[in-house]
Amino acid sequence: MDENEILEALAEDFFQGWDVSPTGGGFLIRTDWVFPDNERIEVHVRRVGEREDLFIVTDGGELVNFLFAEGIDVTRDRECGGILEAITQKRSLKIAEHQIVKGAKEEEIAGAVRVVLEAVKEASFALWHRIRSGPGTAVH
């Protein structure tokens, strides 16, 4: 086995459980990555207006919704909001309308999907730990 065979096997394994569905203005990617409650993480890829060369990659607000359902309102809890902000900033992501967002050209979509997923996963587990750590955690 050589390095190319390993890379091909890794690529096949990494994306085996993923589904990509076309939507009106882009795609919905349902990954096999999961939130701490084992719900699959979805990523939305949307065209920016009528442009064919520019896309927005987003979690669709699912992270904020997940956290809110677990008792954390990142819009009101400064510490949790700060944790989320730090996680997104280190990956050059933005938070807009309660969504983790990354702009991407067509050739950058795969990398943008990966970095959005990494941020969602890291934030969900970092703040999940906060939820489960007991007294002193803020809830809505």
Instruction: Please report whether residue 32 resides in a domain.
Output: yes
CATH number at residue 109: 3.30.1460
Q: With bands split at pLDDT 50, 70 and 90, how would you rate the model's confidence at 133?
A: low
Instruction: Please report whether residue 4 resides in a domain.
Output: no
For the chain, how many structural domains are there in total? 1
Q: If we measure between CA atoms, which residue out of 35, 34, 135, 126 comes closest to residue 81?
A: 126
Instruction: Please report whether residue 138 resides in a domain.
Output: no
Q: How high is the mean pLDDT of the chain?
A: 89
Residue-range definition of the domain harbouring residue 49: 18-132
Distance CA 119, CA 93 (A): 9
Instruction: Please report whether residue 38 resides in a domain.
Output: yes
Average pLDDT over residues 94-98: 95
Distance CA 60, CA 41 (A): 10
Q: With bands split at pLDDT 50, 70 and 90, how would you rate the model's confidence at 9?
A: confident
Q: In this predicted structure, what is the pLDDT of residue 101?
A: 98
Q: What is the pLDDT of residues 15-66, one digit of tens each?
A: 788 999 999 889 999 999 999 989 999 999 999 888 878 999 999 999 999 9
Average pLDDT over residues 87-116: 96
Indicate the pTM of the whole model.
0.86
Task: Please answer whether residues 45 and 55 qualify as being in contact, where contact means their C-beta atoms are separated by less than 8 angstroms.
Answer: yes
Instruction: Please report whether residue 85 resides in a domain.
Output: yes
Q: In this predicted structure, what is the pLDDT of residue 12?
A: 82
The residue type of 1 is: M
Instruction: Please report whether residue 124 resides in a domain.
Output: yes
Instruction: Please report whether residue 33 resides in a domain.
Output: yes
| Helices assigned H by DSSP within the chain | 3-15, 62-69, 78-89, 109-132
| pLDDT winner (highest mean) among 7-11, 12-16, 115-119, 127-131 | 115-119
Instruction: Please report whether residue 100 resides in a domain.
Output: yes
